[in-house]
Amino acid sequence: MKSIKLAGVLGILLLLSACFSQTEYERLKISSTTWIGYVPLFYAKEKGWLEAYNIKLTHVVSLAENMYLYEAGSADAYVGTQYEYQMLVNKIPQLKPILFFDRSNGGDMILANRSIDAIKQTQQIEAYLELDSINNFLLQDFIEKHQITAQINYNNRDQAEISVLNAKDHDAATIIVTYDPYQYQLQSNGFKEIASTASIDDLVVIDALFTTQATLERHQEQFKVLRKMVDDAMLALKKDPKAFYETVKLNLRDVRYSDFLQSLTKID
């Protein structure tokens, strides 16, 4: 009887200990888009590392939605480029980068249903992109570099909507601004890459994790551990790329392993 009572007491103590460990850290919410450079975060999520420190990673399909989610207070931090940061810092001056991930070296790109020469000769262009994002900066740089004078009809769409476009359904000159891994479906649908951050020398795109100093201080231990998780994930990627891919592929629209390896070459 005593042994049963003792076992019961030990069970309650273990349960209380588990509950305490789960609530030891205040919930830290991070918003992220689908981008090849964020695979360390996806790996940490799938491995259960984030949950152990009460970190929740929210996955969205739009750069603008990612930014607005943070602005609305639905996320404590977000990952994005310096261009989205420049748009937000005017409203939130305390915003700053706290963890850098990569530099795009071909991962942000422009696809089209015509060649650059053909586009330069057309009178009207249908452009599909996320307006409040790096997409717009990339497009404007492309227009200026190639001295395109056509009238442009801007179609503001998220990448999930953009990725299902098919070249055969577009008779007019069509330009799509997208990023890895969304280009694979678009290329299968007949669009061709005509420019990227690998060929536009004067456009530097950096991806980082952004938050305010106050949030950094409030979640200091979690952000510190998160940095270690990112480092450990990169070591896992280097050690066994195939196993890493199998862990994160659902976060990358289930791209093929060969495409995954190709995507990694488009970031530094």
62-76 pLDDT, tens digit per residue, is 988 899 999 999 999
Domain 108-196, CATH: 3.40.190.10
Q: Which CATH class is domain 25-104+206-264?
A: alpha beta
What integer is the mean pLDDT of 146-153? 96
- The confidence score (pLDDT) of residue 60 equals 93
Q: What's the chain's average pLDDT?
A: 91
* pLDDT (tens digit per residue) in 172-195: 999 999 999 999 999 999 999 999
- The confidence score (pLDDT) of residue 8 equals 43
**Which segments of 104-182 are extended strands (E)?**
108-112, 124-129, 151-156, 173-179
- The confidence score (pLDDT) of residue 61 equals 87
- The confidence score (pLDDT) of residue 64 equals 86
Whether residue 29 contacts residue 58, with contact meaning beta carbons closer than 8 Å, is answered with yes
Q: Reduced to 3 states, what is the DSSP secondary structure of residue 200?
A: coil
What integer is the mean pLDDT of 218-227? 98
Q: Reduced to 3 states, what is the DSSP secondary structure of residue 102?
A: strand
What integer is the mean pLDDT of 32-37? 96
Q: Which residues, including other chains, have CB under 8 Å from residue 131's CB and lie 6 or more apart?
A: 64, 154, 156
Sorted by where each begins, the domain ranges of the chain are 25-104+206-264, 108-196
**Which DSSP category does 104 fall into?**
B
pTM: 0.89
What integer is the mean pLDDT of 233-253? 97
Planar angle of CA 227, 232, 233, nearest 5 degrees: 95
- For residues 117 and 120, give the distance between their C-alpha atoms in angstroms, rounded to a whole number: 5
Q: Is the pLDDT of residue 12 over 90?
A: no
- Amino acid, single-letter form, for residue 143: I
What integer is the mean pLDDT of 248-267? 96
**108-196 and 25-104+206-264 share a CATH fold:** yes
* pLDDT (tens digit per residue) in 74-87: 999 999 999 999 99
What integer is the mean pLDDT of 22-34? 89
Q: Reduced to 3 states, what is the DSSP secondary structure of residue 29?
A: strand
Categorize the per-residue pLDDT at 1 as very low, low, confident or very high, splitting at 50, 70 and 90. very low
Please, what's the b/e burial string for 114-150 (b: 16 or more CB within 10 A of its CB; e: otherwise)?
Answer: beeeebeeeeebbbbbbebbbbbbbbebbbeeeebeb
